Amino acid sequence: NAGVMQNPRHLVRRRGQEARLRCSPMKGHSHVYWYRQLPEEGLKFMVYLQKENIIDESGMPKERFSAEFPKEGPSILRIQQVVRGDSAAYFCASSPNGGNEQFFGPGTRLTVL
Amino acid sequence: GENVEQHPSTLSVQEGDSAVIKCTYSDSASNYFPWYKQELGKRPQLIIDIRSNVGEKKDQRIAVTLNKTAKHFSLHITETQPEDSAVYFCAARAGGTSYGKLTFGQGTILTVHP
């Protein structure tokens, strides 16, 4: 039973480029959370999605960031026109029912040059 | 919204000693409090959790206590070992939601010296 998968594990982008981060939840899980971890800080909630629906995006910056979780395929976190301040580790977590249990993926470490 | 404060930011102990990490939260409606261990460059891993209807929970060398009145909860690790060295995060699930949106503390870097 594979755990939560994220790819790429490391992503380097230049300022102004786009970053696309993918998260494949555990088998049978239809709920995904995205968190951002800045260097030497705790994780900050960004967005909570169920299949084809954004339930809570209160932690997402209003501009340049978007997320989706299509009926088929992984959840995608998209960052347009990246800036240096976007450099961070982005973790997704999946849940079978959106409740307390969350299983984290290995994270994508984004570096913006 | 929920705010979680965690102390200390760094903790250094000798192998075999106990370690205690404390967190406070602001939302009295929060009802679930997990603790995560994160090794360098790795994913956060759930090590223990407690729900608001329980005051204490223990799992081998790890225990968590919750004081709802004071809105604080603590992680206790006994007989520490070098492999316990990691960053530990507390978190609280926001009350008033039906899903598990977590607010994390800032983390505690625990170093266990052999």
Distance of CA B13 to the CA centre of its chain: 17
Residue corresponding to tokens 């998968």: A5
**Average pLDDT of the residues in B72-89:** 97
Give the confidence band of B2 by pLDDT, cuts at 50, 70, 90: confident
Give residue B99's pLDDT.
76
For residue A98, give the amino acid letter. Answer: G
More confident residue, B2 or B49: B49
Count of H helices and E strands in chain A? Answer: 0, 11
Report the candidate in A31, A27, A13 with the shortest Cα–Cα distance to residue A95.
Answer: A31
Residue contact A44–B43, C-beta within 8 A: no
- A4 pLDDT above the threshold of 80: yes
User: At residue B98, does pLDDT exceed 80?
Assistant: no
* pLDDT digits 0-9 by tens, A19-41: 999 999 999 899 999 999 988 78
For A20, B1, B14, the CA distances from B69, given in Å and listed in that order, are 43, 19, 33
- For B99, the closest of A35, A41, A48 (CB atoms) is A48
CA distance B46 to chain A (A): 8
